[in-house]
Amino acid sequence: MQVDPLIGCRIGQISLVERLGHGSVATVYRGRSGSTGQEVAVKVIRDDHTQEERARFLREGQAAAAISSPHVVRVFGSGQVREHLYLMMELVDGESLGHHLINAGPLSCAQGVRLGCDVAQGLSALHAHGIMHRDIKPDNILLSQEGRAKITDLGLAKLPTDSNLTSVDALVGTPLYLAPEAILKPSTISIASDLYSLGATLFHALTGRPPFTSPDPFALIEAKLEQVAPPLTRLRGDVPPGLVALVARLLEREPKARPTALQAMRELFVMGPPVP
């Protein structure tokens, strides 16, 4: 088994002690302070990635550093060690919603309400700063051991001061959870597009699948552009009517018909106040 050369590496007072996860661009480690024992997550990217990937990585730190919300993973700082860029982040002991759904299946309705309320609150904080996440999906939501949700991975986020890193007509995000307008004309996306992705994520969390699925990407896109999202009740009969209606509004094809993150959070809170 190949040994990770960064295990044992020090970044200031932080030692990298364990690899937590690895993606196509970055690797996340558990870091521990030698003086206090405090643990953090350290996200690392090598400098042999493209300029676009490096720029997105740094933008993630810039976006998250501006947000103070219990439902957005905090970034404490960034820097470079050897040839590696890194972000020092809040450590969330738990798993992604995506992993949870694979391992444990759909959430209960009460868990779905709490999840939606948490993510809507995190989105409300982002949107208040003019930040669009652009890639809300189960893999980008972390669940703590207490079951609370935190939004992570702002690498595709659009900041109010951004000049586009990619062409305005480039497709950005994950098609299963993207809003129709983000597919049809990416330059027209808005904060309402994040709310569609929240609706698709809630649909998946409650039913075990996204609202539109197809092994053919072109058929998937065609369905999103031409069909109304199926109601939750088609796949699950015990979802409360208020939650069914809210998810349907989040999945409206017309962006103006969707609620804001704050409106969604308020409606979900009324359905069942989250456990502190």
- Out of 72, 89, 106, a domain closes at 89
Please indicate, yes or no, if residue 220 is contained in any of the structural domains: yes
Q: What is the pLDDT of residue 1?
A: 52
Same-domain check for residues 181 and 234: yes
Mean pLDDT in the chain?
Answer: 89
Please indicate, yes or no, if residue 250 is contained in any of the structural domains: yes
Please indicate, yes or no, if residue 2 is contained in any of the structural domains: no
| pLDDT, greater one: 231 or 60 | 231
Same-domain check for residues 40 and 56: yes
CATH of the domain at 83: 3.30.200.20
pLDDT higher than threshold 70 for residue 166: no
The sign one gets for the Cα dihedral 9, 156, 192, 107 is negative
pLDDT, mean of residues 126-148: 94
Same-domain check for residues 249 and 176: yes
pLDDT, mean of residues 32-55: 85
Please indicate, yes or no, if residue 182 is contained in any of the structural domains: yes
Same-domain check for residues 98 and 85: no
Q: How far is CA 36 from CA 14, 17, 40, 275, in A?
A: 10, 15, 12, 30
| pLDDT, greater one: 189 or 53 | 189
With 0-12 CB in 10 A as exposed, 13-18 as middle and 19+ as buried, what is 269?
middle
Could you give the number of structural domains in the chain? 2
Q: What is the pLDDT of residue 172?
A: 66
- Out of 60, 89, 118, a domain closes at 89
| pLDDT, greater one: 236 or 163 | 236
Instruction: Calculate helix-pair angle for 191-207, 261-271, nearest 10 degrees.
Output: 30
Same-domain check for residues 112 and 76: no
pLDDT, mean of residues 152-163: 81
| pLDDT, greater one: 77 or 238 | 238
Same-domain check for residues 64 and 147: no
- Rounded Cα distance between 68 and 90, Å, is 12
Please indicate, yes or no, if residue 5 is contained in any of the structural domains: no
Same-domain check for residues 186 and 223: yes
CATH of the domain at 192: 1.10.510.10
Within 8 A by CB and 6+ apart from 167, the residues are none
Please indicate, yes or no, if residue 3 is contained in any of the structural domains: no
Please indicate, yes or no, if residue 222 is contained in any of the structural domains: yes
- 216 part of the active site: no
Q: What percent of the chain has pLDDT over 90?
A: 62
Q: What is the pLDDT of residue 60?
A: 81
- Rounded Cα distance between 5 and 49, Å, is 18
Same-domain check for residues 114 and 18: no
Same-domain check for residues 106 and 83: no
- Domain limits at 217? 94-271
pLDDT, mean of residues 10-21: 90
Q: What is the pLDDT of residue 134?
A: 93
Same-domain check for residues 61 and 85: yes
Model confidence over 190-230: pLDDT tens digits? Answer: 999 999 999 999 999 999 999 999 889 889 989 999 999 99
| Long-range contacts formed by 4-7: CB under 8 A, 24+ apart | 6/44, 6/84
Task: Tell me which of 118, 135, 139, 194 is the catalytic residue.
Answer: 135
Q: What is the pLDDT of residue 167?
A: 46
pLDDT, mean of residues 126-133: 94
Same-domain check for residues 106 and 85: no
- Out of 31, 64, 89, a domain closes at 89
Same-domain check for residues 45 and 98: no
Model confidence over 81-104: pLDDT tens digits? Answer: 778 889 999 999 899 999 999 999
pLDDT, mean of residues 141-163: 87
Q: What is the pLDDT of residue 157?
A: 87
Q: What is the pLDDT of residue 155?
A: 83
pLDDT higher than threshold 80 for residue 188: yes
